[in-house]
């Protein structure tokens, strides 16, 4: 996802319906709704396929079928055309064995979103027959969590606490508006990882909820973690080894 697309997505977070919902949640000490539950599974058509669509966090996961190591180039619809044959190749690909978020099928295609090697989310269209339903692992184990996770310019760093036990979590985020200086925010919290499928982190008035869907770490917050429009809402990708 380009810097311009990421900036546009974050502006949408600050101005659209999600901001209204989070403002309501921020009253008192309410725990944010996990991101996969914040949005219903996307029902939009394939013509609206976008890498910055947070509704994909609520979409089912699929395994890309094919021969080991096979690269499958993704597609986009040509302008104004809504037929399956009106597609063009785009410079984005997935590999057989990848796990992707998938919107409902249309015209024999699905919009899929996935983590790319660059550490950003990508999106494109793929033939529905190339996908098989996958049951995502939701276990938030220390082994899964430890590392550095990124969503655009935002980072969540998770380390083991020794000898105290548990994990230490530090988040750094920013939002660049029209002014010369970006708004910044962050949080720091210690936590014990149990058997729950969500992890609630608190740092003063900032509350962040983490959850897992396969290889992806999802985060939501209560809009209380820093400067204006600074949010930790997103699909995070691992950038460092466990």
Residue 54 lies in a domain: yes
Residue 37 lies in a domain: no
Distances (CA, A) of 167 to 159, 170, 192, 237: 6, 10, 6, 18
Both structure tokens of 105? 């099928």
- 151 and 219 share a domain? yes
Residue 6 lies in a domain: no
List the pLDDT tens digit at each of the 242 positions of the chain: 444 444 444 434 433 334 434 444 444 478 999 999 987 666 666 778 888 888 899 999 999 999 998 999 999 988 766 555 688 899 999 999 999 999 999 889 999 999 997 788 999 999 999 999 999 899 999 999 999 999 988 999 999 998 889 999 999 999 887 878 889 999 999 999 998 999 999 999 999 999 999 999 999 999 999 888 899 999 999 986 54
Q: CA-to-CA distance for 175 and 181, rounded, in angstroms? A: 9
Put simply, whether the predicted model's pTM sits higher than 0.85 gets the answer no
Q: CA-to-CA distance for 163 and 178, rounded, in angstroms? A: 45
- 173 and 210 share a domain? yes
Q: Which structural domain, as residue segments, surrounds residue 213? A: 137-238
- 148 and 226 share a domain? yes
Residue 23 lies in a domain: no
Q: Number of structural domains, the chain? A: 2
Domain-ending residue, one of 73, 105, 134? 134
Q: CA-to-CA distance for 221 and 25, rounded, in angstroms? A: 9
Domain-ending residue, one of 134, 169, 189? 134
Residue 107 lies in a domain: yes
Domain-ending residue, one of 114, 134, 154? 134
- 126 and 163 share a domain? no
Residue 14 lies in a domain: no
DSSP string, 141-169: -HHHH-EEEEETTEEEEEEE-TTT-SEEE
- 103 and 158 share a domain? no
């Amino acid at each position: 996802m380009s810097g311009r697309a990421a900036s546009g997505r974050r502006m949408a977070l600050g101005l659209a319906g999600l901001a209204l919902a989070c403002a309501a949640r921020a009253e008192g000490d309410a725990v944010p709704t996990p991101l996969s539950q914040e949005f219903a599974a996307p029902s939009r058509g394939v013509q609206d396929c976008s890498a910055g669509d947070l509704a994909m966090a609520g979409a089912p996961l699929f395994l890309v079928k094919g021969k080991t190591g096979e690269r499958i180039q993704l597609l986009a619809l040509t302008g104004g055309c809504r037929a399956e044959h009106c597609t063009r190749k785009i410079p984005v690909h997935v590999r057989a064995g990848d796990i992707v978020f998938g919107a409902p099928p249309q015209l024999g295609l699905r919009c899929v979103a996935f983590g790319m090697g660059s550490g950003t989310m990508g999106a494109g269209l793929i033939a529905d027959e190339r996908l098989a339903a996958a049951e995502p692992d939701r276990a938030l184990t220390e082994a899964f969590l430890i590392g550095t996770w990124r969503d655009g310019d935002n980072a969540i760093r998770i380390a083991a606490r020794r000898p105290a036990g548990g994990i230490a979590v530090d988040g750094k985020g920013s939002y660049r508006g029209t002014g010369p200086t970006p708004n910044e925010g962050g949080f720091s919290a210690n936590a014990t990882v149990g058997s729950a499928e969500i992890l609630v982190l608190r740092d003063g008035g900032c509350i962040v909820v983490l959850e897992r869907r396969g290889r992806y770490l999802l985060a939501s917050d209560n809009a209380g973690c820093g400067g204006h429009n600074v949010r930790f809402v997103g699909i995070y990708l691992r950038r460092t080894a466990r």
